[in-house]
Amino acid sequence: MSPWTTNFLPRKTWNAVSTDGTGLNVIPRQPFPRHRAALLGAICLATLPAPLVLAQDDFFTDLNLDLKDNGPDRDAPFSVLGWVTQEVSYGYRRPDPPFSRTDRQLTQVETSLFTQLDWQLPDSLNFRFSGKAYHDAVFEIEDDTPYTPDERSLYRNRFEVRDFYLEKQFDNGLYLKAGHQIHAWGFAEYLRVTDLINTEDQYTLGQQDLEDLRLQVPSVQLSYSLQDWTLDAVMTYHAGYNDIAPAGDEFDQLLALQRDSWVIDREDPNSRAELFLRASTHYAAGDVQIVAGDYNNNQLTLNGITGIEQSGPVFQLVQQRMQSLGVAANRVNGSWLLFGELGLQRNAPVTPLNLEALYNPGGWEERNRLLGAFGVEYNGFSNTLLSLEVDNTHTRGDLQQLAIDRNQLGVGTRLYWTGLNERVELLSVWNRLANDQGSLIRVSLDYNWSDNWKFGLLWVDYSADRNSLYYGFRNNDMLQLNARFSFQR
């Protein structure tokens, strides 16, 4: 997960029916050019080993829109839902050069349309297709800003294919789902311990819409119920890596490599197939999941630097092959919810936290890591949910040349409040990144004017120390006004 991504909804609102999203269904996307994914992105995003990011676990479960009289005919084979969103964002600080934006100004005037089609075919076969189209007018409004061709090409107009799959429940208890889809596993919010399958939209850090965080991947899922346990097997092929901002963007994580004489070479992984297994069960007060995986790291890592003595260095970026085994569990006790995850990762690339070690000609070293997350949520106050999560990544082996702490601790807190018959929603999130790399504050206030209209205000504040790899993003604080019109037939 991206270091600065945030959960926007409380756990108590989750609906554990499925791992897709009916209202907030998200993203695999129609392939489009990846705009020079290179090292500093790997650098920056990999710096947050797993612990600093906010997972989107159950944000992709079914959402009941409850549109009263205009609800769909439950017996109809087709159902369509969607929304039109308008977002206007303003960056009120000045990022340092060489980002394209170096002044206070509008950073986004984006209109988007999301549409989802569900079709029930004969023989209990279900089909889902969804997509999202964007247009950002900021390039015409702020035409004095020297945006790069990559920024204009990616953000001005684009279309993304999201869910695109078939699913079937067989009479013998076997369930099959094939196509572009989301697999949201685990319970932790800020650290990926068992939630390993899907890539992420990291074009911005902490500013994405709910439905735009986890990206669908091409995969096949088989599930089978065996007494009190459910067994899941997921195989992906050519799932790719996390999407990062283009060259020149204020969240360009590869900015340190954007030089005329430097070349970025993204190598394909040795194997494009990935395999994940899960065994899960419910008990009276909670759930347990056991997850294993053999997969390619979703963050690009440095495999080596060649050509240093020639015209310019070539940075070879790869997806490191990793293996993991983890367990996740939660327990409800009155107004309290306790949850935790523990996992072992093998062959995990370790990102150094200083530039001298960062540009290692031999690439980044690999270590085995033990990841742990523990959290508590309390809903005993009226209309209020409070949560706290503490995460730690323990790196094994010799660390003298890696410039990192053996134990990297991250903390995340969240307050969620609703009022006026749940028409008003206030969410406040504070996340301290692991290894003291920085922090994020995110506050959103939304008002549900009607079943169709929703208006919101968003504020995001970034902070990073001078020696942090995220120091360049510290002036990306922003205010956003947004409106959404939802429809369903």
pLDDT digits over 286-317, tens only? 999 999 999 999 998 988 888 776 778 888 98
CB-facing half-sphere around the CA of 308: CA atoms within 13 A:
9
Q: What is the DSSP letter of 357?
A: H
pLDDT the model gives residue 53 = 39
What value does the mean pLDDT take over residues 268-280? 96
Side chain identity, residue 465: D
Is the Cα torsion angle 402, 403, 404, 406 positive or negative in sign?
positive
Query: What's the CA gap between 9 and 61, in Å, rounded?
Result: 12
Which of 8-17, 69-78, 213-222, 278-287 shows the lowest mean pLDDT across its residues? Answer: 8-17
What value does the mean pLDDT take over residues 327-353? 94
Residues 433-454 pLDDT 10s: 988 889 999 999 999 999 999 9
Q: Per the structure block, which two tokens stand in for 379? A: 């809903």
Write the DSSP string, 253-272. TTGGG--TT-EEEEPPPS--
pLDDT the model gives residue 212 = 73
* Per-residue H/E/C for 198-209: CEEEECCCCCCC
What value does the mean pLDDT take over residues 381-396? 96
Tokens 């028409």 sit on residue? 423
Kindly indicate the confidence band of residue 48, based on its pLDDT and cuts at 50, 70 and 90.
Answer: very low
Q: Per the structure block, which two tokens stand in for 34? A: 């990846």
Residues 137-174 pLDDT 10s: 999 999 999 999 999 999 999 999 999 999 999 988 89
Q: What are phi and psi of 11, to 5 degrees?
A: -60, -30
pTM score:
0.83
Contact 6, 429 (CB under 8 A): yes
* 243-244: strand order across its sheet: 214-215, 199-202, 243-244
Answer yes or no: is pLDDT of 398 > 90: no
Q: What is the mean pLDDT of the chain?
A: 84
Name the maximum alpha-carbon separation found in the chain: 71
Residues 70-97 pLDDT 10s: 445 556 799 999 999 999 999 999 998 8
